[in-house]
Amino acid sequence: MSQSEPGSSRFKNCGNPLLCEWLEEWMEKAQGIQSKAYFAYKKAYASMLVHPTPFHHPSEAEKLHGIGKGLALKLEKRMITHCKANGLPIPERVKGSEKRNHDQISTGTQGDGEASESSQSRPRQKRKQSTYVPRFRSGAYAIMLTLHESEESGNGTQRLSKEEIIAAGQKYCDSSFDMAEAGRGYTAWVGIKTLLEKGYVWKQSSPPRYSLTDTGKAMATQLARASGKGSPRSQMAAAGEPSTSTNLQSSQTDINQEEERVTA
């Protein structure tokens, strides 16, 4: 980062004299109007003054004690103005692994070591993909069983309307599909939104009609088998598939006690 050298010898050990000069300017201005910002600028100035390594971009100053994102951005804006006024190339931000890790300068203030440690990047762990299992006798559970029951009935009806699902599925749900519970602004039908987001149900035509996707069929078969609602044909199909969740193999009593959860 090209910087003009201020004339004062007090910057001879500073790797970024131009940035240091601007911090000094802001510090003195804040002191003149008795602003509390004076102390923030003073701390930042002290760190910059003793830092020997030049920065490629003002944003790297954020690594120093007393300089946060806001002040680093202010330095960046000042640098852009300076470069435009003097016909100099504007420095570009250093990306990713190319960014140099400058040592944080200690000014004797407690907590510097903690700040340095927290500034180090840590690798992110990838989250495992999970399988959504509708809670027993919830709206989503009732919708899944109703669509599954329609397909297993053998009457050729695979796509049902909202009204048809509600009429046939209320017996599988503890909440009402027609009336919202006290303190809630939604009915059990809200479960259809989750099923659509999880890719368990298709929504087609207008007015909309609903059917199970292949993924939804597999889950519905597991739910039906666990609840004792599956037909012999669906139970035979499910027997050849691994269980999505160990709770789906539990007894009716165990399922009744489980909460809606996500299993790995």
**Per-residue pLDDT for 256 more than 50?**
no
Name the CATH topology of 131-263. Answer: Arc Repressor Mutant, subunit A (1.10.10)
What does DSSP assign to residue 153?
Answer: T
**What is the C-alpha separation between 133 and 202, in angstroms, rounded?**
17
**Per-residue pLDDT for 68 more than 70?**
yes
Q: Tell which CATH architecture fits domain 9-92.
A: Orthogonal Bundle (1.10)
Q: What is the pLDDT of residue 237?
A: 47
Q: What is the pLDDT of residue 4?
A: 45
How far from the centroid of its chain's Cα atoms is residue 27's Cα?
38
Q: What is the pLDDT of residue 157?
A: 60
> Tokens 């059917």 map to which residue?
211
Query: What's the mean pLDDT in 119-128?
Result: 61
Contact in structure between 201 and 211 (CB atoms under 8 Å): yes
pLDDT tens sequence across 148-207: 999 888 665 678 999 999 999 999 999 999 998 888 889 999 999 999 999 999 999 899
pTM of the model: 0.43
Nearest to 227 by CA among 260, 261, 256: 256
Same fold: 9-92 with 131-263: no
**What is the C-alpha separation between 143 and 164, in angstroms, rounded?**
10
- Average pLDDT of the chain, as a whole number: 78
* Per-domain boundaries in the chain: 9-92, 131-263
Q: Helix or strand or coil: residue 204? A: strand
Amino acid at site 41: Y
Contact in structure between 193 and 156 (CB atoms under 8 Å): no
208-220 CB burial, b ≥16 within 10 A, e <16: ebbbbbeebbbbb
Instruction: Give strand pairing partners of 263.
Output: 131
State the pLDDT confidence band at 99, using cuts at 50, 70 and 90: very low
**What is the C-alpha separation between 3 and 11, in angstroms, rounded?**
12
